[in-house]
Structure 1
């Protein structure tokens, strides 16, 4: 079986990988996050006892 020269295949593989990473990096950096993180509420919630439907 003849062996292929790995040099052009390695270059093609690396260039394809770089191009895909650039495309996906640009896509991920341009994402907009609509939900901003909210601060926890400082007020304590009023504790309410549980009500069970069978009791």
Structure 2
């Protein structure tokens, strides 16, 4: 059964993970987000109890 032979697939998986970890991930992490969440002021909403018409 060729599906159980890990010889070509292990190399492909290892190569793809190394490519992601060493090349793509540092490039993605170097971007600065344009809308950082820590600059937003928290808003508090006033909640009022619901008046049920049948009570």
When normalised by structure 2's length, the TM-score is 0.42
> Highest CA radius of gyration, 1 or 2?
1
Q: Which has the higher helix share?
A: 2
Using the size of structure 1 for normalisation, the TM-score is: 0.42
